[in-house]
Amino acid sequence: MQGLVDIFKPLYDLWLSFEAFMVGPASPGLLGYWIVIALMMTGFYIVIAHDNLVKKIVGLNVFQVSVFLFYILMAKVTGGTAPILAEGITQYSNPLPHVLILTAIVVGVATTALGLALVVRIRNAYDTIEDDEILAVEEEEDR
Amino acid sequence: MTIFYTYFLSLPFAAAIEPHLPILQVVVPLLCAPICVLLRDAKLSWLWATIVTWITFFIALVLLGKVLASGLIIYELGSWPAPWGIEYRIDAANALVLVIVTAIAAITLPYAKVSVEKEVARPRIYLFYLMYMLCMTGLLGITTTADAFNLFVFLEISSLSSYVLISLGGNRRALTASYRYLIMGTLGATFYIIGVGMMYMMTGSLNMADLATLLPAVDHTRTVLAAFAFVVIGLGLKLAMFPLHTWLPNAYAFAPSAVTVFLASTATKVAIYALLRLVFTVFGGTDLFASTDISLMLIIVALIGMFAGAFVAIFQTDVKRMLAYSSVSQVGYMVLGIGMATAAGLTGGIVHLFNHAVMKGAAFMAVGAMFYVIGSVRLNDLAGIGKRMPVTTAVFLVAGLSLIGTPLTVGFISKWQLVQASLALGWWYVAAGILLSSLLAIVYVWRVVEVAYLKAPPEGAARRSEAPLSMLVPMIVLAAATVWFGIDGDTTLRIAGEAANALMGPASGGKP
Q: Nearest by CB to A67, which of B167, B178, B193?
A: B193
Alpha carbons B423 and B28: distance in angstroms, whole number? 44
Q: Under a CB-based contact definition with an 8 Å cutoff, are residues B22 and B73 in contact?
A: yes
> What integer is the mean pLDDT of B474-482?
93
Identity of the highest mean pLDDT range in A25-29, B65-69, B455-459: B65-69
The reported pTM is 0.90
With H, G, I as helix, E, B as strand and everything else as coil, classify residue B340: helix
Is a pLDDT exceeding 70 seen at residue B278? yes
Query: What is the three-class DSSP state of A43?
Result: helix
**Structure confidence at residue B109 as a pLDDT band (50, 70, 90):** very high
* A141–chain B Cβ distance below 8 A for any pair: yes
Shortest distance, CA A115 to any CA of chain B (angstroms): 7
Identify whether the C-beta of residue B369 lies closer than 8 Å to the C-beta of residue B381: no
Sorted by where each begins, the domain ranges of chain B are 293-501
For residue B70, pLDDT over 90 is answered with: no
d(CA B309, CA B306): 6
How far is it, in rounded angstroms, from Cα B299 to Cα B293? Answer: 10
Residue A101 structural domain? 2-142
Percentage, residues of chain B above pLDDT 70: 97
CA distance B175 to chain A (A): 6
Mean pLDDT of B112-130: 89
Q: Summarize pLDDT for B387-435 with one digit per residue, the tens.
A: 888 899 999 999 999 999 888 889 899 999 999 999 988 888 889 999 9
Measured between CA atoms, the residue of chain A closest to residue B195 is: A67
Chain A residues within 8 A of B183 when measuring between CB atoms: 47, 56, 60, 115
Considering only CA atoms, give the Rg of chain B: 22
B-interface mutation test, from A48, A100, A112, most B Cβ less than 10 A away: A100
Collect all residues of chain B within an 8 Å Cβ-Cβ radius of residue A60. 183, 186-187
Q: What is the pLDDT of residue B509?
A: 37
- Mapped onto helix, strand or coil, the DSSP state of residue B96 is helix
Strand partners, A92: A81
Q: Comparing C-alpha atoms, which of B21, B231, B38, B259 is closest to residue B135?
A: B259
Predicted-complex ipTM score: 0.89
* Interface contact B152, partner A, CB < 8 A: yes
Tell me which residue of A62, A75, A15 sits closest to A36, measured CA to CA.
Answer: A62
Q: Could B183 and A60 be called an inter-chain contact, meaning their C-beta atoms sit closer than 8 Å?
A: yes
| pLDDT one-digit tens code per residue, B196-209 | 999 999 998 999 98
| pLDDT tens figures, A86-137 | 887 788 888 889 889 999 999 999 999 999 999 999 999 999 899 899 989 8
Q: What is the mean predicted confidence (pLDDT) over B27-45?
A: 90
Residue A119 belongs to a domain with what CATH number? 1.10.287.3510
Indicate yes or no: CB of B160 within 8 angstroms of CB of A122.
Answer: no
Residue A63 confidence (pLDDT) above 70:
yes
- Of B155-169, B218-232, B339-353, B381-395, the range with the highest mean pLDDT is B155-169
b (16+ CB within 10 A) / e for B123-134: eebbbbbbbbbb
pLDDT for residue B29: 93
Query: In angstroms, what CA-CA distances link B277 with B179, B212, B294, B353?
Result: 29, 11, 16, 14
Compute the nearest-CA separation of A20 from chain B (Å). 23
Q: Is the pLDDT of residue B505 over 80?
A: no
**Chain A contact present for B222, CB below 8 A:** no
Whether residue A70 lies within 8 A of chain B, CB to CB, comes out as yes
Cβ neighbors of B421 (< 8 A, separation 6 or more) are B337, B340, B342, B344, B345, B347, B348
- Cα A43 to Cα A58: distance, rounded to the nearest angstrom: 8
Does the beta-carbon distance from A118 to B167 stay under 8 Å? yes
The distance between the two most distant Cα atoms of chain B, rounded to a whole number of Å, is 73
Q: Is B182 on the interface with A (CB under 8 A)?
A: yes
What single letter denotes the amino acid at residue A135?
L
Burial A130-143 (b: 16+ CB within 10 A, else e): ebeebeeeeeeeee
**Amino acid symbol at B134:** L
Q: How far apart are CA B383 and CA B449, in angstroms?
A: 10
3-state class of A69 per DSSP? helix
B512 band by pLDDT with thresholds 50, 70 and 90: very low
Section A2-13 average pLDDT: 83
Percent pLDDT > 70 in chain A is 94
pLDDT score for B510: 36
CB of B484 within 8 Å of a chain A CB? The answer is no
Helices (H), A81-130: 95-126
Query: Measured between alpha carbons, how far is residue B124 from residues B42, B101, B135, B166, B272 in Å?
Result: 8, 24, 16, 13, 31
**Neighbour tally for B56: CB within 10 Å:** 25
Q: What is the pLDDT of residues A82-98, one digit of tens each?
A: 888 888 778 888 888 98
- The alpha carbon of residue A125 is apart from the nearest alpha carbon of chain B, in Å, by 6
What mean pLDDT do residues B269-293 have? Answer: 84
pLDDT over 70 at A25, yes or no:
no
Q: What φ, ψ does residue B34 adopt, rounded to 5°? A: -60, -20
Whether residue B179 and residue A122 make contact (CB cut-off 8 A), yes or no, is yes
Which of A97, A100, A121 is nearest residue B175 as measured by Cβ atoms? A121
Q: Of B331, B324, B155, B158, give the one whose Cα is nearest residue B255.
A: B324
% chain B with pLDDT above 90: 53
* B77-89 per-position pLDDT tens digit: 888 888 888 999 9
Instruction: Identify the band that residue B511 occupies on the pLDDT scale cut at 50, 70 and 90.
Output: very low
pLDDT tens figures, B295-340: 888 899 999 999 999 999 999 989 999 999 999 999 999 999 988 8
Q: Are B206 and B147 a contacting pair, CB within 8 Å?
A: yes
Among the ranges given (B250-259, B424-433, B455-464, B465-474), the one the predictor scored with the smallest mean pLDDT: B455-464
Rounded to the nearest integer, the mean pLDDT of chain B is 89
> Cβ contacts (< 8 Å) between A111 and chain B: which residues?
156, 160, 182, 186
Residue B54 forms contact with A (CB below 8 Å): no
Please choose, from the candidates B409, B376, B369, B416, the residue with its C-alpha nearest in 3D space to the C-alpha of residue B393: B369
Three-point CA angle B51, B134, A119, nearest 5°: 135
pLDDT at residue B25, rounded to an integer: 92
Q: Nearest 5°: CA angle at B281, between B205 and A111?
A: 65
pLDDT given at position A27:
63
Chain CA centroid to CA B366, Å: 18
Quickly state the pLDDT bin for B342 (edges 50, 70, 90): confident
Q: For B339-349, what is the mean pLDDT?
A: 87
Alpha helix segments (H runs only) across B315-427: 319-340, 343-374, 385-388, 390-404, 410-424
Among B149, B176, B179, whose Cβ lies nearest the Cβ of A115?
B179
Dist CA B276 CA B503 (whole Å): 7
* pLDDT level of residue B507 (50, 70, 90 thresholds): very low
pLDDT value for B508: 41
Mean pLDDT on B225-230: 91
- Cβ distance of A114 and B201 shorter than 8 Å: no
* pLDDT mean across residues, chain A: 87
* Range 97-136 of A in CB contact (< 8 A) with B: 97, 100, 103-104, 107, 110-111, 114-115, 118-119, 121-122, 125-126, 134
Q: Which of A30-34, B222-226, B388-392 has the lowest mean pLDDT?
A: A30-34
For B258-282, what is the mean pLDDT? 91
Residues 6+ apart with CB under 8 A from B375: none
